[in-house]
Structure 1
């Protein structure tokens, strides 16, 4: 199933063409996730705590792969244009030949054979907890002092710099997050004048430095303090560009019947503000020159995001339109009008699901005495609701006091968080 795998000691980068990972019609999305579970273990970002750059690359690629898998389950699915996902692979240290044995001597295994094997070896939640709960408890206990230190550092910096929030785009370990906050604290001492511009902003640690499309201050974790200082010094000019972007969103909305133009951080690649402004500007000029005729305010309440790597418009299961920046104006108008009512119904269901999801997370956490219950961004509200409802039916004393993450695969994170697939088996 996986092509061109080499046998190396610890870390290797391989490019896996998506056409060899997914046979679109042979798999459903859920089947593909099950079949890819061994692969998820080999590339999971939490195995790369000592390699932050490789960790970020894996997280980006996994996010895109999960998006492709979700699309497999949509009606009217069309094949994707050729693409390549890059992953760093963690192999077993005690026996490098294990990887070759697991994935086949040539590195190729038939998808149907992989799925059949995965189904035969299906893991149940109780059996997995029996084998992994003790290890997770130990890791969680060891991480408690660092978790307190992280909360302290985050609180101190937020107050000192008058920040709205401090976030992380990646699921870095606690020690790594503390190190990033220490770096920001040192910069605040060295360049207090530059950091005064940060008042009221949200800081997000990620892979690039600048300002994001959502207006967050992005601090690249591989950049030196000089790059961070330049970002804080440029905040006034970023604010000007952000205002221009908001104006473009309003103008596009006016031309398209009042539909809201938005950027969704959890569902789109992390764009720099300059990149997003360029996308808006190009799309605005395209729409303005086409003289589309939408009735004023007829699409108010609906949402639309722009994507540069698509060629056909789509209505997302969450109710927002996904519109290619190169979409033909006539096709755009026909598609939005034809799908408007369906979009409103999906948005309504989304809001109802969010409320139910929030209630079930709270109820499940209390029932199982969890310290924390949360989900990965790629897990939908419907999937989270399904998982919580199942958790409420179970008696799982080994979860008491634990941090539980609903994901797509089983894993014990380096700080003791337990990850379980949303569709776990009893």
Structure 2
């Protein structure tokens, strides 16, 4: 049997059977998990459990059936044998009356593409997307686009000599072979401090009742251990005072002082212990701030037609007092523009949209997850106009993120297990689609990279790096070609 195979850069590995190919050639090309998620997007919009809040029984059935569907698809992705499966879903039949339609789906195909087509057909949904995916000849080598080649853009001639050198793109496989030894060396050194960190943390919990101690800086484990030792000495010398302010709280050794948006007590690692003691006395004052924040977010939501206010996860810590100032500023801006809100949205409910309040230097933008990032320095009229003009695009991006997030965790778990990684995570600016694509491509190159990555921790980012604790960082759109 001849198997049509797409290039390694196209992240797909599902195998189609000969019988299916002869019967329906357009529905039998290799389909990746991310492509399957995109094709199933209309299906997710009709059966997603979040849509069935008033129907707990139907919600539970849909949750269970979706898990089984994902397991079936991932078994095909791993080229495992699967048994025929019967699934039941409840789908929205009428968006106005929210009547439900019971749908039964029988899965028996060894092809991801055929499985997706079966699900869509059972719900009377179109096959437009998968029908647009054309087969790729075996001789065709398609390259993944990694952005403009700045070496080509800026290359020039001056007196017959190039005065800009072409930027060299890194090859993942060769880079891993070179840096895996550095990663393992850093990991080993980091593990030498791990026992000390655990022992000191355990003693702090017993001595002053802290709930947890975390590390949130770019410094290595040696520095973390030194800071924990200092905190323990302070606690031993002033046990009652430290217990009064830290009992039952999370402590973060970071680059900031104060209390974070999530209630963590932050201690700057560059300060001496005496400064920490002085800072701790102000901790109780932040409790009132943390209590006010949800009410301020609720008021902001009301001023913008009940749009959902989300707290965006950040790599750096957001302080509670800073966030309160941001909310105050944007609340005052929108209170002065309520006439524009009424004219712009005409009483429409925006509770299906999401908004994140950002600092003054942030751009007014719509993320690839469908969330609005709103800088507090922006005039209210521009905020309202921007949301009004892009709300349909935001709805589509949010729907896409729902379908992709439903499979992202499973792809990560599968990739971690197959490559033998200790851990696999991503930066917050990496979208589910990018992470899914990256993981599938890594699995496609299993034989080339497994000896370099087995037993290490990996983070998907925008760059190549090895951290002090041995974590290997790779860009999501890594290249496997020689330049």
TM above 0.5 = yes
Instruction: Give deviations 1:379-422, integer Å, cap 9, x for gaps.
Output: 33332222211111122223221222223333333333322222
After superposition, the Cα gap between the structure-2 partners of 1:199 and 1:382, relative to the gap in structure 1 and judged at 3 Å, is farther
1:173 aligns with 2:220: yes
- Contact 1:167–1:204 (Cα < 8 Å) also in 2: yes
1:202 aligns to 2:250 (yes or no): yes
1:319 aligns with 2:370: yes
Aligned to 1:278: 325
Contact 1:319 1:350 in 2 (8 A): yes
Per the alignment, residue 295 of structure 2 pairs with 247
Distance 2:393 2:208 in 1: 45
Matched residue count: 318
SS at match of 2:474: strand
Distance in 1 (CA, whole Å) between partners of 2:282 and 2:205 is: 20
Match of residue 460 from structure 2:
406
Counterpart residue number, 1:232 = 280
Higher Rg:
2
8 Å CA contact 1:260–1:304 kept in 2: the answer is yes
TM-score (norm 1): 0.66
Quick one: structure 1 residues 335 and 376, their matched pair in 2 at CA, closer, same or farther if it must change by over 3 Å? Answer: closer
SS at match of 2:167: helix
User: How far apart are the structure 1 equivalents of 2:203 and 2:407?
Assistant: 34
Describe the shift of the 1:199–1:264 C-alpha distance in structure 2 as closer, same or farther (beyond 3 A): farther
Residue 372, structure 1, aligned to residue 423, structure 2: yes
**Counterparts of 1:379 and 1:412 in 2: how far apart (Å)?**
18
Q: What CA RMSD, in Å, does the superposition of the two structures yield over aligned residues?
A: 3.0
Please state if 1:309 is matched with 2:341. Answer: no
Could you tell me which residue of structure 1 aligns to residue 379 of structure 2? 328
- Asked if structure 2 preserves the Cα contact closer than 8 Å seen for 1:257 and 1:295, the reply is no
1:421 aligns with 2:472: no
- Range moving further from structure 2, 388-397 or 303-312: 303-312
Match of 2:240 in 1: 193
1:104-143 counterparts in 2 under 5 A? Answer: 113-114=164-165, 116-118=166-168, 122-143=169-190
Report the CA distance between 1:374 and its aligned residue.
2.2
Does residue 363 in structure 1 map to residue 417 in structure 2? no
How far does residue 363 in structure 1 lie from its aligned partner after superposition? 1.3
Measured after TM superposition, the shift of residue 222 of structure 1 is: 0.9
**Secondary structure at 1:405 match in 2:** strand
In 1, the alpha carbon distance for the partners of 2:284 and 2:211 equals: 17
Matched residue SS, 1:416 = coil
In 2, distance between residues paired with 1:324 and 1:270?
17
1:350 partner SS:
helix
Structure 2 CA distance for partners of 1:218 and 1:127, relative to 1, 3 Å: same
Rounded Cα–Cα distance in structure 2 between residues aligned with 1:173 and 1:379: 24
Task: Summarize deviations over 1:138-186 as a string: whole Å, max 9, x none.
Answer: 3323332222333443454456554454333324322222222222222
Deviation at 1:282, TM superposition (A): 2.0
Q: Deviations over 1:175-232 (max 9, x none)?
A: 2222222222222223333333334433222212112234322211111223322333
Q: Which residue of 1 aligns with 2:265?
A: 217
Q: 1:377 to 1:163 in 2, by over 3 A?
A: farther
**What is the 5 A alignment of 1:67-82?**
none
Show the counterpart of 1:51: none
- Taking a change above 3 Å as real, the CA distance of residues 371 and 246 of structure 1, as seen in their structure-2 partners, is same
**C-alpha contact (below 8 Å) 2:368/2:431 kept by paired residues:** no
| Distance in 2 of aligned mates of 1:206 and 1:413 | 17
Unaligned stretches of 5+ residues in structure 1: 1-28, 37-108
CA distance in 2, matches of 1:308, 1:199: 31
1:341 aligned counterpart, secondary structure: helix
**SS across alignment from 1:117:** coil
Q: Which sections of structure 2, spanning at least 5 residues, go unmatched? A: 1-144, 152-161
Q: CA–CA distance in 1 between the matches of 2:303 and 2:285?
A: 28
Among candidates 334, 337, 349, match of residue 388 of structure 2: 337
Give 3-state SS (helix, strand or coil) of 2:253's partner. Answer: strand
Assess, with a 3 A threshold, how the Cα gap between structure 1 residues 282 and 131 changes in structure 2: closer, same or farther.
Answer: closer
